[in-house]
Amino acid sequence: MNIKSLLLGSAAALAAVSGAHAADAIVAAEPEAMEYVRVCDAFGTGYFYIPGTETCLKIGGYVRTQLEYNDDSYGIRDNGDVNAYSRGYLTIEAKNDTEFGALSSYINIQADADGETFLDGAWINIAGFDVGYFYSWWDDGLSGETDSLDSSFGALQNSARYTYDGGSFLAGVSVDEIEGGSYPTNNDPNDSLGVSGKLGATIAGFNIYGLAAYDFDAEEAAFRILATAELGPGTLGIAGSYATDPNYYYDRSEWTVAAEYAIKATEKFTITPAAQYFGNVRVGSEFSSEDAWRVGVTAGYQITTGLRTLATVNYTDSDDGLPGDQKDWTGFLRLQRDF
């Protein structure tokens, strides 16, 4: 009887302890649902949604290595000799829909092997307006590597511009900050502004656009016209520029004309012969009475998806009155991986 009571008591005690432990047991919480990155196809390929938002992000760029030769000495091209360099370039785009249309922002970052890293663009676009730090229309040229239609100052600045694109017709106006690069005549640092306008149209198979700009600091103007058309196995391109005197928008010569023909030899190989004539080349801060001309060829080959090579050779001949060597060879060989 005592043994039976002892066993029953022990069992009851164990049951009580077990029940107490069960009451205190910790139950693992359900894991929160993970939000995976979603593909965004509203603005083309390569975009994905930033988690938790309706903003689409795209990351791209290129890695480039290049061997170049440049012995020019009077300013149509930058001075130089034999040089090898590598570059990394990163582009970041963010887009989302609004009641005003797509809101877009862009950031471009360039890093060179010599240690120089800098912002190569940062701007906002909405409803035809671009505001920020970006390349102007004057940076656009022919497709090859022979022409010099841009200014020696480049075309990257803080700007605010509006562009109307009607498909076969385009018009725009831009206000540019051009501080740090001009030929001042009035010595007023507060006038470091420029205004540029663009008109473009597609007429009878030709894509044509014209530019006109005024540099308030130099109190001078520049003009350009450029046209391209599909012709035979390639694309014909012609262009011309004129400046009233050296200014931010064009300063290499008083006037110039250029032409090229980009031949699509195969699906992967394009070869582009080109020529340009410079009338009254700039020497110092003024146009001279000397002329120069250039001929060259550019060849590009798409090795595989994302990998291409580009090579160019150019010869420039100038009048004897210009300083430096009057016969200059320039060129480069480039390997580039785009992503």
User: What are the sequence ranges of the domains in the chain?
Assistant: 35-338
* Cα pseudo-dihedral 171, 176, 178, 179, rounded to 10: 180
Q: Specify the CATH architecture of the domain 35-338.
A: Beta Barrel (2.40)
Tokens standing for 147? 């022409």
Q: Cα 272 to chain center, whole Å?
A: 21
SS3 232: coil
Say if CB 168 and CB 186 are below 8 A apart.
no
What is the C-alpha separation between 180 and 109, in angstroms, rounded? Answer: 21
Query: What does the pLDDT read at residue 6?
Result: 43
36 CB contacts (<8 Å, ≥6 apart)? none
Distance CA 64, CA 88 (A): 6
User: 296-305 burial by CB neighbour count: b if 16+ within 10 A, else e?
Assistant: bbbbbeeeee
**Per-residue pLDDT, 183:** 75
Instruction: Identify the pLDDT of residue 35.
Output: 67
In this predicted structure, the answer to whether residue 41 has a pLDDT above a threshold of 60 is: yes
Residues 6+ apart with CB under 8 A from 196: 136, 137, 138, 161, 173, 174, 176, 211, 212, 213, 214, 249
Question: Is the predicted pLDDT of residue 177 greater than 90, yes or no?
Answer: yes
Query: Cβ(43)–Cβ(50) under 8 Å?
Result: no
- For 112, residues 6+ apart whose C-beta sits below 8 A from its C-beta are 85, 86, 87
Task: Give how far the C-alpha of residue 72 lies from the chain's centroid of Cα atoms, to the nearest Å.
Answer: 25
The encoded tokens of residue 214 equal 């005024």
Task: Work out whether strand 101-112 and strand 156-165 pair parallel, antiparallel, or are unpaired.
Answer: unpaired
pTM over 0.95: no
Closest by CA to 177, choosing from 161, 194, 162, 163, is 194
Decide if 211 contacts 198 (C-beta within 8 A): yes
The reported pLDDT for the residue numbered 323 is 72
Which tokens is 39 given? 């593909």
Length of the chain: 339
- Among the ranges given (73-77, 222-226, 311-315, 321-325), the one the predictor scored with the smallest mean pLDDT: 73-77
Confidence of residue 225 (pLDDT cuts 50, 70, 90): very high
pLDDT over 90 (residue 278): yes
pLDDT at position 322: 78
